[in-house]
Amino acid sequence: MSLHTAALSREPAALAHAGIVAFPPGTATMAERDVLDTTLAMRHAGIRRLRIGWELQGAQDAPVIVVQGGISAHRHVAAGARFAEPGWWDAQCGEGRAIDTRHHRVLAIDWIGADGSLDACIDPADQADAIAAVLDHLGIVRVTAFIGASYGAMVGLQFAARHGARLGRLIAISGAHRSHPQVTALRVIQRRIVALGRSEGGVREALALARSLAVIGYRSDVEFEQRFAAAPAVGPDATRFVVEDYFDAIGPKFVARFSPTAYLRLSESIDLQNLDPASIRVATDIVAVREDRIVPESDLYALAEGIRGSTRLHRISSLYGHDAFLKEEAQIAAILTAALCRSVAA
């Protein structure tokens, strides 16, 4: 393992792998999305029939990169000519970005369970196997890199352990081989809030409350100090704190796009992560955020020490804590670009 700060460079990919789907005639790029109906032997839930939504976009015949984010991320990573709606990671993926779709094809899936149709234990290993099933379906033998952030990093670690022969490099941002017990405890409370809301007929309000509790851990204490330190509005019968406006804004947005079942099962899935770092033998870049309350640096140090392949640990600082992968565009882009260049050179 080495501590390393990635240097910014932009070296295009030079290797191509099999796996081509339909693309618009007369263009150098392609974009396709579909649903795979398949049977998956799940780690805890047995054999299940599943539908896996996927999207593949980028340069025709280029190397493939798998990109996965947090539990609320989805298959549409970045906007493109064919699917122009904003993606969840437009800051890092697209033409001229760190994950440059002029030189790579980007594959992502909708998490199994994200539509709320699967009310069963979902292990991060199941998500890794679902990605492998989509790769098989598309005829893609090997991917140049797997870039995962948050829950996506946990799944990337599982993919590296279970399907390492198909992977050139893993880039894991703010995701570890386990959930820290104290953070698991916080998620257990969040899930119990949702369960209580179900039993009492207020599940939407409960889900918004659980999300608000989760977001406290995603950001740093410094950010909360800067944004919400103003004095509360105190009346004769009630007091309202500044942070309540924030919670009232983010809660309904989350409820509008996430079902209670999906939240319960994917939150639980994070806490089911249990992986021996020594089972990973591929080249790995790990990104730790000093202010991250969800994934402590100590866990990522232990992960980096245990991996059997070549490993680099990148340490960054961010006001945004766990959400740094979404907010720290320049720092994350520098690490991604350098890591992908090493993938080409390997």
Q: How far apart are CA 58 and CA 65, in angstroms?
A: 10
Decide if 310 contacts 284 (C-beta within 8 A).
Answer: yes
Point out the catalytic residue in the list 17, 150, 163, 299: 150
Decide if 292 contacts 321 (C-beta within 8 A).
Answer: yes
| Structure tokens given for 334 | 């520098």
Q: How far apart are CA 218 and CA 151, in angstroms?
A: 13
Point out the catalytic residue in the list 314, 322, 323, 343: 322
Q: How far apart are CA 116 and CA 199, in angstroms?
A: 18
Q: How far is CA 149 from the centre of its chain?
A: 4
Q: Quick one: 315 exposed, middle or buried, by C-beta within 10 A (0-12, 13-18, 19+)?
A: middle
Active site residue 292: yes
Decide if 324 contacts 292 (C-beta within 8 A).
Answer: yes
Q: Give the SS3 label for residue 259.
A: coil
Q: How far apart are CA 169 and CA 311, in angstroms?
A: 10
- Report the greatest alpha carbon distance in the chain: 70
State the number of CA atoms in the 13 A half-sphere of 320 facing the CB.
10
Q: How far apart are CA 336 and CA 108, in angstroms?
A: 17
Point out the catalytic residue in the list 292, 299, 314, 323: 292
Which positions are annotated as active-site residues?
150, 292, 322
